[in-house]
């Protein structure tokens, strides 16, 4: 009955300009259907003012305007009227006296206005007058809202249009009140009031933070199931343009919270989930994913005022001036589907009490092994403990571990924790790994080397890793990969983690995927895997055994972390693909740029693009460039890998032989890492490229840059 694609379905894959135009079109369509044309502030008269306990209640009559009369109640703490105001639109069965707290609620949290007023907001509650308008005798068992809707239709006006217009009028009045702070004005609607809030917010000329409670779903299935809403839930004609999820998405860039009860008898979770996920995607495409919040609550067809109050606190704390979205350095994304799946898995652990080293962790290890090019994967609680465990498995105590001068501090600290001394080696310029020539020199002059660690900087596996493997084999020394950056990276088809005797991955939040905190150990050797499993659990012989064969520690990954990691692991292919697409776009945008040279993948190497790196020409002031990008272009670069060499960290002073590391030093001083993440838009990349060129040109024209600079990187 309701098939056919709405005319204004969200244009997936479009660029920012098309999306902005789509957003305008949806708002215009809603305005048109609302038949709301007046921009004026309605006339309001005060009917009554009184105290109810520590709250003050004003009964107001909204009189003028084309939409006739309606009443509303303003409620606020008596001590001092707050400047933050929320418009409250109740459901069709929400009795006004209950919503404002004059009568005890017959449904949990029905007293939304009272609760929000007690939480420190002035609330203005519209009395929709949808109850008790007809006597029982007149109703004769018929649905009252339908009767009113039909009556309105006789006047050529839809009930939804009328109610939503009232809501816009009330918003306008609030915004014009001198005591209201315009950047602290919000709207909350429950059920029918939620749909009205949605329309009102779309028709209103400014983005206002909005809470939609118990109204998520799809008009299509809602009306195919039952039409009891009586023509009041939907603006007649709206499906020509868009269904609920797209309308919700069109609220971007306003802060939006969608509340839904997991046992809502009217709006099934399945449809609500589709709507929430779709709206979240549209928010992401508007570059404001952080302004969309979904809250699946343990309730039926209700509203949670506390959750709403916390949301308004947050939304109102963002000053109106920072409304321009920044290009973030990284973005950590869990889709609504992923979040639901995580919560289900966690719930299962809570029900069964299986909270660590359980079935989720096993499933996670199995999924991880597919990505690491090894049959064995051992999950631990951090990347650092993964490195330490690997070093303990191969045995380094009392001897020396060689590692690159350019790495994260944890590579060295894990070696020290495993009982080794550290020796640093310079970086090789082709693939940014540890320099095989430097390693050879160290092996020739020392007899205490127990292991060599290479680090896949930024996600690049160096093509020279073959030389390292041969060298280590020749000396009978294990090669360990610190692959913290490189899950999903390849070299000549071989996966990161499959090159050394063992490898360590990190699942820290900023890494390519995350489990909150966590790490993984990859190994081809099942005996090594067994020792790693024992070490992560205090060197125990078995999970239930109370016999400790070795000194390990508690490096276990909990089921909760495994549940999070598993969801992200399932997105890894998509993440890497999206990052690689973004990287190709940067290659094109930055290819001929004055003042910098991009770090390209060496032949055979396929990076996961954990980082997109570029080298600045000599003389470019990196700090100045970064702050200019942030302040003038809203672009935040991501952290370097690394700006200070590991060996120069104060904690390591005097713990190794001082040496020069010219390649690593040059790289540390001159590279930058551009924002890159799955879901990055072309417009965001354009902004980064445009900002970079403009700011590099500023520095070039100041004459401080010697260009072209000496290239550290042989492959560029």
Q: Which range touches ligand PLP (CB under 6 A), out of 42-50, 357-365, 480-488, 678-686? A: 480-488
489 binds ligand PLP (CB under 6 A): no
Of 244 and 434, which has the nearer Cβ to ligand PLP? Answer: 434
Member of 70, 312, 408, 499 binding ligand PLP (CB under 6 A): 408
Query: How many Cα atoms sit within 13 Å of 379 on the Cβ side?
Result: 33
Q: How far apart are alpha carbons 214 and 195 in whole angstroms?
A: 10
508 binds ligand PLP (CB under 6 A): yes
CB of 404 to ligand PLP, least distance (A): 9
138 Cβ neighbours under 8 A, 6+ residues apart: none
- Nearest CA to 294 among 249, 250, 344? 249
Of 379 and 629, which has the nearer Cβ to ligand PLP? Answer: 379
Of 311 and 505, which has the nearer Cβ to ligand PLP? Answer: 505
CB of 399 to ligand PLP, least distance (A): 21
**Helices within 317-464 (DSSP H only):** 336-352, 359-372, 383-394, 409-417, 436-445
Of 349 and 506, which has the nearer Cβ to ligand PLP? Answer: 506
Of 484 and 569, which has the nearer Cβ to ligand PLP? Answer: 484
- Nearest CA to 365 among 260, 505, 459? 505
Q: Which range touches ligand PLP (CB under 6 A), out of 111-119, 313-321, 378-386, 653-661? A: 378-386
Tell me 434's DSSP state. B
Q: Which residues on neighbouring strands pair with residue 673, listed in sequence order?
A: 613, 638
Q: How far apart are alpha carbons 59 and 49 in whole angstroms?
A: 6
485 binds ligand PLP (CB under 6 A): yes
Site for ligand PLP in 410-439 (CB under 6 A): 410-411
Of 386 and 563, which has the nearer Cβ to ligand PLP? Answer: 386
Member of 183, 304, 349, 382 binding ligand PLP (CB under 6 A): 382
Q: How far apart are alpha carbons 386 and 422 in whole angstroms?
A: 17
CA 95 to chain centre: 38
407 binds ligand PLP (CB under 6 A): yes
CA distances from 503 to 363, 399, 419, 454, 478 (A): 19, 20, 18, 10, 11
- Nearest CA to 251 among 91, 30, 40? 30
CB of 409 to ligand PLP, least distance (A): 8
Helix (H) / strand (E) containing 113: helix 112-118
Member of 431, 438, 519, 675 binding ligand PLP (CB under 6 A): 519
Member of 229, 405, 425, 484 binding ligand PLP (CB under 6 A): 484
56 binds ligand PLP (CB under 6 A): no
384 binds ligand PLP (CB under 6 A): yes
Between the two ends of the chain, the Cα-to-Cα distance in Å is 60
Size of the site for ligand PLP (CB under 6 A): 14
CB of 384 to ligand PLP, least distance (A): 3
Instruction: Identify whether the C-beta of residue 483 lies closer than 8 Å to the C-beta of residue 504.
Output: yes
Instruction: Identify whether the C-beta of residue 496 lies closer than 8 Å to the C-beta of residue 488.
Output: yes
Of 60 and 410, which has the nearer Cβ to ligand PLP? Answer: 410
610 binds ligand PLP (CB under 6 A): no
Tell me the per-residue interface mask from 335 to 374 with ligand PLP, x by CB under 6 A, - otherwise. ----------------------------------------
Q: Which residues on neighbouring strands pair with residue 119, listed in sequence order?
A: none
Instruction: Identify whether the C-beta of residue 46 lies closer than 8 Å to the C-beta of residue 59.
Output: yes
Q: Which range touches ligand PLP (CB under 6 A), out of 223-231, 404-412, 465-473, 653-661? A: 404-412
Q: Which residues on neighbouring strands pair with residue 84, listed in sequence order?
A: none
Report the interface residues with ligand PLP, using CB under 6 A. Answer: 382-384, 407-408, 410-411, 455, 482, 484-485, 506, 508, 519
């Amino acid at each position: 009955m309701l098939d056919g694609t709405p005319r204004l379905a969200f244009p997936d894959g479009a660029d920012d300009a098309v999306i902005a135009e789509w957003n305008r079109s949806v708002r215009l369509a809603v305005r048109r259907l609302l038949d709301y044309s007046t921009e004026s502030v309605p006339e309001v008269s005060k009917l009554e003012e009184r105290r109810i306990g520590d709250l003050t209640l004003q009964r107001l009559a909204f009189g003028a305007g084309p939409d006739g009369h309606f009443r509303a109640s303003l409620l606020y703490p008596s001590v001092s009227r707050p400047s933050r105001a929320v418009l409250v639109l109740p459901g069709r069965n929400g009795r006004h006296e209950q919503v404002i707290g004059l009568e005890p609620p017959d449904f949990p949290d029905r007293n939304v206005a009272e609760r929000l007023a007690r939480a420190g907001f002035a609330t203005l509650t519209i009395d929709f007058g949808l109850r008790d308008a007809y006597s029982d005798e007149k109703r004769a068992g018929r649905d009252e809202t339908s009767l009113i809707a039909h009556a309105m239709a006789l006047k050529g006006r839809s009930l939804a249009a009328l109610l939503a217009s009232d809501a816009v009028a009330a918003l306008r009045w609030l915004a014009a009140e001198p005591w209201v702070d315009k950047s602290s004005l919000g709207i909350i609607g429950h059920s029918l009031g939620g749909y009205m809030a949605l329309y009102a917010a779309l028709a209103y000329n400014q983005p206002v933070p909005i809470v939609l409670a118990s109204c998520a779903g799809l008009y299509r299935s809602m009306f195919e199931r039952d039409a009891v809403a009586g023509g009041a839930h939907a603006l007649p004609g709206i499906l020509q343009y868009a269904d609920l999820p797209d309308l919700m998405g069109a609220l971007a860039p306003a802060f939006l919270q969608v509340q839904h009860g997991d046992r809502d008898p009217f709006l099934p979770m399945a449809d609500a989930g589709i709507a929430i996920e779709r709206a979240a995607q549209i928010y992401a495409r508007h570059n404001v994913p952080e302004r969309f919040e979904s809250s699946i609550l343990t309730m039926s067809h209700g509203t949670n005022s506390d959750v709403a109050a916390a949301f308004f606190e947050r939304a109102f704390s963002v000053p109106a001036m920072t409304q321009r979205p920044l290009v973030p350095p990284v973005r950590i994304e869990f889709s609504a589907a992923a979040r639901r799946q995580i919560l289900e898995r966690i719930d299962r652990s809570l029900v069964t009490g299986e909270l660590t080293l359980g079935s989720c962790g096993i499933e996670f290890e199995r999924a991880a092994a597919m990505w690491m090019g090894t049959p064995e994967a051992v999950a631990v609680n951090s990347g650092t403990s993964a490195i330490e465990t690997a070093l303990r498995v191969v045995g380094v105590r009392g001897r020396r571990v060689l590692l690159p001068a350019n790495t994260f501090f944890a590579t060295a600290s894990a070696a020290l924790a495993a009982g080794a001394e550290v020796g640093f080696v310079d970086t090789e310029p082709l693939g940014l790994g540890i320099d095989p020539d430097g390693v050879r020199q160290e092996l020739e002059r020392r007899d205490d080397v127990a292991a060599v660690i290479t680090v896949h900087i930024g996600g690049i596996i160096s093509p020279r890793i073959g030389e390292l493997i041969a060298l280590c084999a020749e000396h009978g020394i294990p090669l360990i990969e610190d692959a913290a950056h490189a899950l999903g990276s390849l070299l000549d088809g071989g996966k990161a983690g499959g090159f050394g005797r063992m490898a360590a991955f990190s699942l820290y939040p900023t890494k390519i995927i995350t489990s909150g905190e966590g790490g993984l150990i990859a190994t081809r050797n099942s005996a090594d895997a067994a020792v790693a499993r024992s070490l992560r659990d205090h060197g125990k012989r078995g999970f239930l055994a109370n016999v400790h064969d070795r000194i390990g520690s508690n490096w276990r990954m909990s089921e909760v972390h495994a549940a999070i990691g598993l969801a992200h692991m399932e997105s890894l292919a998509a993440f890497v693909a999206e990052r690689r697409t973004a990287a190709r776009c940067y290659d094109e945008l930055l290819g001929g740029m004055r003042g910098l040279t991009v770090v390209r993948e060496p032949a055979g190497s396929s990076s996961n693009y954990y980082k997109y790196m570029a080298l600045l020409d000599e003389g470019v002031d990196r700090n100045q460039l970064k702050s200019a990008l942030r302040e003038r272009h809203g672009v935040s670069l991501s952290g370097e890998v690394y700006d200070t060499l590991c060996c120069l960290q104060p904690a390591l002073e005097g713990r190794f032989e001082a040496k020069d590391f010219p390649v690593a030093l040059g790289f540390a001083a001159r590279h930058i890492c551009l924002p890159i993440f799955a879901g990055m838009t072309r417009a965001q990349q354009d902004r980064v490229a445009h900002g970079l060129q403009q700011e590099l040109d500023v520095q070039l024209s100041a004459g401080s840059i010697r260009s072209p600079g000496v290239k550290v990187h042989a492959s560029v």
